[in-house]
Amino acid sequence: MDLELTGEEREIRDWVRTFVRREIMPMEPEVLARERRGERGLRPDELTSLQRKAKDAGFFGIQTPEAYGGMALGAVMTALIEMELGRSFVQFRFGGDADNILYVANDEQRATYLVPTINGERKSCFAITEPGAGSDARAIRTTARRDGDEWVIRGEKTFITGGDEADFVMVFAVTDREKGADGGVTCFLVDRERGWHSRPIDTMGEWGPASLVFDDVRVPHSSILGEEGNGFELAMRWIGKGRYLLPARALGACERLVEMGMDHARTRVTFSKPIAERQAIQWMIADSAVEIEALRWLVLSAAWQVDRGLDSRQAQSMAKLYGGVKANEIVDRVLQMHGGMGYTRELPIERWYRELRLLRIYEGTDEIQRRTIARNLLRGHASVRGHLG
Ligand SMILES: Cc1cc2nc3c(=O)[nH]c(=O)nc-3n(C[C@H](O)[C@H](O)[C@H](O)COP(=O)(O)OP(=O)(O)OC[C@H]3O[C@@H](n4cnc5c(N)ncnc54)[C@H](O)[C@@H]3O)c2cc1C
């Protein structure tokens, strides 16, 4: 067993670490000030400019295949990169990325959707959740009815990330009611010009998702992504892709938060002593550090299994669950260590507090991860001994 990074992994990680420190963190005060005024923190032109700088250094399409100009990095490397990016709350991401399921597109769809998305010319969104179907995604009711060479889509989607900005949607609709999720759900690629409407949803985060309405939106048969009836499988593939990456990003935030907490504890004096000398504060630091370390290995173990082509679903669910729960506990502790200042909007802690809360909800809630983990164990698909057996 080798728990060391390779020279290349270290080099790439260090480059990202420096990029975050030199290019992203200096933007934090301005981003925070804008968000406080209700504006978008990182403007699109600033994101593009940062992405261009990164691209000039070779950082483009982290997991995108080389055939599309990407770096085709593995899961462990990507997780390490996300950990570094997570150290800032500025919503930066490298350019050159596209949804994993767009790669099943046919040649024409690749030219219309996949390639422009990778090049940053088009924006996608992924829409399965509905007002009546979230955790229970099999219960979706949006329908697509065949009419000659067209399909007519009718229904409502909700909580769609990027739904108000996207110019096309990967929307999941029931095409065979009897089969339902077992072969009766189909994914359609639908341009906004076809007539779907979006409305932003205000959330406790800094920028919200949107609800999408499809009021008899007509699309040609050629809009189907993949095959008719295999939509549910595609949806699960999309959701499954990033389960280890969300906690990786949260882990970076936790590291930074605990560092902030320690800086504060060393200098904040009460009753003639820095609070860092109090056991109550030391225990908060110690517990957080242990949990961060445990999370690091859950994330890396899940990513390692992805790279090895193993069935990583159990490990990914564990990383997502633990990351969501622990990141929320850690940000709460760090806020507590800062006392009244932690509760103010002068510091970004309350911002992280609100943002990290989402991790326990989207892409499978805590409860759904627990359900998956327990079912895998009870049915014998996974062992409490983990992947080492
Ligand atoms: C900011 C944000 C962005 C999102 N982005 C997207 C997106 O881009 N695309 C998309 O399609 N969706 C997106 N979602 C939707 C998200 O995936 C769902 O909100 C999530 O799956 C939970 O579904 P729900 O909100 O309907 O809650 P429900 O499914 O109604 O669950 C309510 C509560 O009941 C619990 N629960 C449900 N079933 C069980 C069970 N069997 N056992 C125990 N407890 C259970 C849940 O864990 C939860 O605590 C987003 C959501 C948010 C908030």
> For the segment 176-229, what is each residue's pLDDT rounded down to a tens digit?
999 999 999 999 999 999 999 999 999 999 878 999 999 999 999 999 999 999
277-295 confidence digits (pLDDT tens): 999 999 999 999 999 999 9
**Site of tokens 């189907």:** 224
pLDDT tens digits, residue range 26-70?
Answer: 999 999 999 999 899 999 999 999 999 999 999 999 999 999 999
Examine the pLDDT at 168 and tell me if it is beyond 90: yes
Residue nearest atom 16 of ligand 1, based on CA coordinates: 362
Global pTM? 0.96
DSSP 5: P
Cα of 228 vs its chain's centroid, Å: 27
What is the whole-number distance in angstroms between the Cα of residue 55 and the centre of ligand 1?
Answer: 35
Question: How many beta carbons lie within 10 A of that of residue 282, not counting itself?
Answer: 14
Residues in a beta bridge with 145: 152
Of all protein residues, whose CA lies closest to atom 47 belonging to ligand 1? Answer: 367
**309: three-class secondary structure by DSSP:** coil
Yes or no: say if 222 and 107 are a contact pair by the CB < 8 Å rule: no
Q: 365 CA distance to ligand 1 centroid (A)? A: 6
Q: Which of 361, 363, 372 to mutate to test the pocket of ligand 1 (most atoms within 8 A of CB)?
A: 361
Interacting residues of 194 by C-beta distance below 8 A, sequence separation 6+: 217, 218, 219
CA distance 143 to 347: 46
Task: State the Cα–Cα distance between residues 249 and 251, nearest whole angstrom.
Answer: 5
Q: Whose CA is nearest to atom 29 of ligand 1?
A: 135
**CA distances to 3, 111, 248, 259, 290 from 294, in Å:** 14, 43, 12, 17, 6
Task: Write out residues with Cβ below 6 Å of ligand 1.
Answer: 126-129, 134-136, 159-161, 203, 209, 358, 361-363, 365, 367-368, 371
Ligand 1 centre and the CA of 137: distance in Å?
9
Question: How far does residue 362's CA lie from ligand 1's centre (Å)?
Answer: 6
Cα–Cα separations (whole angstroms), residue 37 to 25, 34, 40, 41, 345: 19, 5, 9, 9, 11
Q: Are 315 and 302 in contact (CB under 8 A)?
A: yes
What's the helix, strand, coil split of the chain in %, to 5? Answer: 55, 15, 30
What is the per-residue pLDDT for 138?
Answer: 97
**What ligand 1 atom has the least distance to the C-alpha of 363?**
17
The tally of CA atoms less than 13 A away on the side-chain side of residue 151 is 24
Beta bridge partners of 168: 124, 191
- Signed CA dihedral, 70, 75, 81, 85: sign only: positive
- 355 tagged catalytic: no
Helix (H, G, I), strand (E, B) or coil at 199: strand
